[in-house]
């Protein structure tokens, strides 16, 4: 069950009130008008198994994470197959800010597990003097945004989230990789 261990570990190690825990499922994001518009205008790169039109390609290694294993212009590359998941994070942040107006958001992917007590002082240490933090495991070569925090009372962080969302809404993400 997706998120089961995250929720169990959260309840064990996060002594906060229920009003401080917010979770969104796919249906809540899928119903957002901006998300529907984004989804419908990008079906060409969204895999069929997520409701799009992109079919598995006939490239050398169709499931590869490496672009070099795909023909130039292949719509089934790793980036396109996963952008559908990433955009939901951004829409979730926006929805949370609009509906709950929190001072701080800590995003946890549902495959995360909390292993130590998390108090307000621990959270403040994570942020230090910054408006954003993320974790990078010692074995990872790149940053992982499965755990990331935002101080949404910071106007620069609000602008960052707006700009982040605009990368997807404007389709500028199609030029990235």
For the stretch 40-60, pLDDT in tens is: 999 999 999 889 999 998 998
Residues with Cβ within 8 Å of residue 53, at least 6 apart in sequence: 43, 44, 46
Q: Can you tell me whether residue 33 is helix, strand or coil?
A: helix
Residues with Cβ within 8 Å of residue 39, at least 6 apart in sequence: 30, 46, 51, 52
Which of these, 159, 31, 148, lies nearest to 99 by C-alpha position? 31
Residue 172 above 90 pLDDT?
A: yes
Q: What angle do CA 144, 79, 141 make, to 5 degrees?
A: 30
Mean pLDDT over 160-166 rounds to: 92
40 near 102, Cβ under 8 Å?
no
Which of these, 80, 78, 70, 73, lies nearest to 42 by C-alpha position? 80
Residue 6 above 90 pLDDT?
A: no
């Amino acid at each position: 069950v997706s998120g089961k261990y995250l929720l169990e570990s959260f309840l064990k190690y996060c002594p906060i009130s229920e009003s401080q825990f917010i979770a969104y499922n796919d249906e809540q994001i899928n119903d957002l008008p901006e998300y529907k518009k984004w989804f419908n205008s990008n079906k060409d790169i969204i895999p069929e198994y997520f409701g799009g039109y992109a079919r598995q390609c006939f490239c050398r290694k169709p499931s590869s994470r490496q672009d070099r294993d795909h023909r130039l212009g292949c719509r089934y590359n790793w980036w396109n197959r996963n952008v559908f998941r990433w955009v939901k994070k951004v829409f979730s942040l926006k929805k949370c800010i609009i509906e709950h107006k929190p001072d701080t958001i800590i995003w946890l992917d549902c495959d995360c597990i909390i292993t130590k007590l998390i108090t307000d002082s621990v959270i403040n240490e994570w942020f230090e003097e910054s408006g954003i933090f993320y974790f990078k495991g010692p074995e990872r070569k790149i940053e992982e945004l499965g755990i990331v925090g935002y101080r949404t009372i910071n106007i620069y962080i609000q602008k960052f989230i707006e700009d982040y969302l605009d990368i997807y809404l404007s389709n500028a993400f199609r030029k990235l990789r």
